[in-house]
Amino acid sequence: MNTEELLIKIKNQESTKIKFAVADIDGILRGKYIHKDKFCNALENGLGFCDVIFGWDCADACYENSEITGWHTGYPDAKATISSETYREIPWENNMPFVLGDFSNDRKYAESTCSRSLLKRVAAQCEKMGFKPIFSQEFEWFNFMGTPSEITASNFTDLEPITPGMFGYSILRTSLNQSFFNDLFELLHRFNIQLEGMHTETGPGVMEATVIYDEVLAAADKALLFKSAVKEIAYQHNFMASFMAKWNLNLPGCGGHIHQSLWDLEQNRNLFFDANTPDNLSTTAQQYIAGLLKCLPEILPMFAPNPNSYKRLCGGDWAPRTLTWGIDNRTCAVRAITGNEKSTRLEFRVPGADTNAYLALGGSLAAGLYGIKHQLPLTSHPVTGNGYLNLSNGTIPETLEEATTKMANSAIAKELFGEAFVKHFTQTRQWEYRQAANKDLQWELKRYFEII
């Protein structure tokens, strides 16, 4: 839907208001309800949105180390652009019209703070190189009994998942909460987020779902909206959904694995597939893998954005910390899934469910393209067996502080995303790990359990 078509649709809507949202640096949707007359004007002229959304953390505490915005700038309005192609209706909110936006037409924020604008730049570079990026993010998340007020009042103690025990791929557990799981599948479909599949994972009350693949920007929009939608649908059942990377040290963490491939611009040919190679992986795919592994340690905060993320990346438990790749090997950072031309792709297994999809997908694509641009050879062999124990190519940083310091000083990161973004983003990650200094998992539950 283009702007003109959306304008006509909104004017003819019975609803007098539209729900509008943009993503902050943590991937949290910040939004408002807008009268449809104001929205129609904003479609052509943009919409003022207080730039504090780029000047505070996930708990609304204002950064003290940000240069882009702060008390020293007076928190002016940034000019948001409405992305008409993201229009959809919210079925659990009386089919309320909904649309996303970004700040791609406001240069100050587009270059430094707006994650959707960053992904748009990377996607444009990709197409300029002759590739159509096709992506999908899959999520694992836990579901709990209770409302936000009830769980907050309990001080996040005695959390009760909606099902007991360790029971992956269980048809019994989905039957136990049939109305919730049916709502997830059907309401998400009506919200234009089609799922390829959904099932229980290992752990009490944990689910996994994969969003059907799409062009990278649309895939990131859907990934971001998936998390918010799941939380809202859970509210309807007096449940809470949590995408924390590691809410309980004794249970598996929550992954946000990214599936990706490059096609020709007409999307007729998968450029990762080559039937003439032993593993069906083309030279393009091999260079892409080499780029991912080369850049990963340099830009890790884009895939592991908060202190809790690193509790998941412990070198096992389905979460890799080694710089490894393998053919259909789930213990590696990059799992190459090779088969026919349509299905051949890479699964990047480092990102958690707590990521900002624009940054995670954009970082992954930029890293892969780096390998192609620099024609990096894939010097390491595919790992067979336990990739968690394979240290031959090194490991990723072990804490947010270490990872942020590395990214702040990285020439590769600045080449990929520009100095303005790297500076602002790493300042926000410095703030984040300083808030967590000497804090325990209980503090992380209070901070990340619902909102991330």
When pLDDT is cut at 50, 70 and 90, the band that residue 114 belongs to is very high
Chain-wide mean pLDDT for the chain? 96
Under a CB-based contact definition with an 8 Å cutoff, are residues 132 and 284 in contact? no
Distance in angstroms (rounded) separating the CA atoms of residues 281 and 298: 25
When pLDDT is cut at 50, 70 and 90, the band that residue 263 belongs to is very high
Under a CB-based contact definition with an 8 Å cutoff, are residues 212 and 136 in contact? yes
In terms of Cα–Cα distance, which of 391, 393, 388 is closest to 350? 388
- Ranking 225-234, 311-320, 358-367 by mean pLDDT, the lowest is 311-320
323: tokens are: 């710089």
- pLDDT for 304-325, tens place per residue? 999 999 999 987 778 999 999 9
- pLDDT for 200-219, tens place per residue? 999 999 999 999 999 999 99
- pLDDT for 178-204, tens place per residue? 999 999 999 999 999 999 999 999 999
Residue 339 has pLDDT above 90, yes or no: no
Start-to-end Cα distance in the chain: 30
Distance in angstroms (rounded) separating the CA atoms of residues 422 and 291: 19
In terms of Cα–Cα distance, which of 64, 11, 112 is closest to 434? 64
Phi and psi torsions of 25, nearest 5°: -70, -25
CATH number of the domain at 126-448, please?
3.30.590.10
Alpha helix locations (H) across 77-114?
A: 107-112
When pLDDT is cut at 50, 70 and 90, the band that residue 409 belongs to is very high
Distances (CA, A) of 133 to 167, 216, 293, 302: 35, 6, 18, 19
Residue 132 has pLDDT above 80, yes or no: yes
Average pLDDT over residues 75-101: 96
Average pLDDT over residues 124-142: 98
Q: What is the pLDDT of residue 15?
A: 87
User: What percentage of the chain reaches a pLDDT higher than 90?
Assistant: 93
405: tokens are: 């310091």
CATH number of the domain at 3-113, please?
3.10.20.70
Distance in angstroms (rounded) separating the CA atoms of residues 160 and 57: 28
Helix, strand or coil, per DSSP, at residue 9? helix
Q: What is the pLDDT of residue 316?
A: 74
Average pLDDT over residues 60-70: 95
When pLDDT is cut at 50, 70 and 90, the band that residue 1 belongs to is confident
> What ranges do the domains of the chain cover?
3-113, 126-448
The secondary structure of 124-149 as a DSSP string is HHHHHTT-EEEEEEEEEEEEEES-HH
In terms of Cα–Cα distance, which of 400, 426, 429, 402 is closest to 414? 426
When pLDDT is cut at 50, 70 and 90, the band that residue 241 belongs to is very high
* Per-residue exposure over 328-343, b if at least 16 CB sit within 10 Å of its own CB, e if not: ebebbbbbbebeebee
Distance in angstroms (rounded) separating the CA atoms of residues 302 and 305: 6
